[in-house]
Amino acid sequence: MRRLIVLLVVAAAGLALSAHAQTATPDSENGRFTFSPVTEGMLRLDTRTGQVSLCAKQATGWACNTVPDERAALDAEIARLQRENGTLKQEMVAHGLPLPGGIASAPAADRQRELQLTVPLPSDAEIDRVMTAFEKMWRRLVDMVQKTPTGDRI
């Protein structure tokens, strides 16, 4: 049993060290920046603002250039296309033309579909059942450890 416990502790420590080695390394300013190696140099992520920069060695030293954020441009283009699409649908309906197959009538330009999800919370009885099951498992585990012989077999 002790051998198994020692083996589990060593395995957990090894996994923790390998997981730590795979993460990006933070800077000294309270972990604000994380760096990830890329072929051109290092990518720097500002964990406070979400801004990404590409850091590379230049003739004068290391320099970090901000990577352009294309999300705002994409959102603006999507909004423009949605407005244009809504206008075209309204014009087709106004002229008595049928909309292409599978398309409903023209929606309001400013209205967007929202995903309506409701997640039911567990009742007190369900929580009590789960807690009772965990308590039984914990007691069995403690009983197994207490009943295990403590000989020096390591």
- What span, in angstroms and rounded, lies between the C-alpha atoms of 124 and 138? 21
Tokens encoding 98? 């049928």
Mean pLDDT by 10 residues, the chain (154 residues): 55 52 50 86 85 87 82 82 89 84 56 67 90 93 88 58
Measured from the Cβ of residue 46, the count of other Cβ atoms closer than 10 Å reads 14
Task: Tell me the three state secondary structure of residue 120.
Answer: coil
Q: Please state, in angstroms and as integers, the Cα–Cα distance from residue 42 to each residue in 21, 29, 46, 62, 69, following that order.
A: 16, 17, 13, 10, 17
pTM of this structure:
0.31
Backbone angles phi, psi at 42, to 5 degrees: -135, 140
pLDDT digits (tens, 9 = 90+) for 64-106: 888 877 777 788 888 899 999 889 888 888 888 888 776 665 4
- What span, in angstroms and rounded, lies between the C-alpha atoms of 33 and 76? 29
Look at residue 111 in the predicted model and tell me its pLDDT. 45
High-pLDDT (> 70) share of the chain, %: 68
% helix, strand, coil for the chain, step of 5: 45, 20, 40
Task: Tell me the three state secondary structure of residue 107.
Answer: coil
Measured from the Cβ of residue 18, the count of other Cβ atoms closer than 10 Å reads 9
Contact 54, 40 (CB under 8 A): yes
